[in-house]
Copies of this chain bind each other. A is one copy, B any other.
Amino acid sequence: MNIKIRKSIKQDSKEVIRLIKELADFEKLDPPDSKAIRNLIKDMYSKNSPVKVIVAETDGRLIGYAFYFYTYSTFLAKKTLYLEDVYVSSDYRKSGVGKMFFKELMKAAKKSKCGRMEWHVLDWNVNAIRFYKNLAAEELKEWKYFRMSL
């Protein structure tokens, strides 16, 4: 399989939205509604957008995406690459696509002089958790995660 990771372009939007909906379905979370989809496309592909999207492509078809942006650590005084979503379609899992995404993300993080990469994963997603532990990522068990909806 010839799989390529590349920056996403506006022409990908329909395919990226399809993958985002697949991820929402997999995570049993509400997918973006039609208004959110319009906004998402606008935000992803706007010039100087703070949100970055890369995609995995094979045979002209998109089979995965990663969505990230930069946050910041005050104690390190360095940027952090925060991985909001990483997703590979079920038929293409265990083909090394996840590793290819992480390689690309680490390259971007180093280029941007980040001190860390961070992300969250659902506790029942044991395959993903095993994958992350194999990458020598550390689980930050002592931190609780809070949200306030506005």
Contact = CB atoms under 8 A, between A and B. Distances in A.
Interface string A118-142: 1111111000010010011111111
Interface residues of A, number: 61
Interface string A15-48: 0000010001000011110011111100100000
Given A117-B150, A121-B146, A50 B32 contact: no
A31 B73 CA distance: 11
A72 B44 CA distance: 10
Contacts of A135: 148
B72 A51 contact: yes
A74 interface: yes
A79 B20 CA distance: 17
Nearest to A16: B74
A71 interface: yes
Nearest to A135: B148
Contact of A118 (B110, B122, B141, B146): B146
Interface of A: 20, 24, 29-32, 35-40, 43, 50-51, 67, 69-78, 82, 84-85, 106, 109-110, 114-124, 129, 132, 135-150
11 contacts: A29-B75, A32-B75, A50-B50, A51-B72, A114-B150, A118-B148, A122-B143, A123-B141, A137-B148, A139-B145, A145-B145
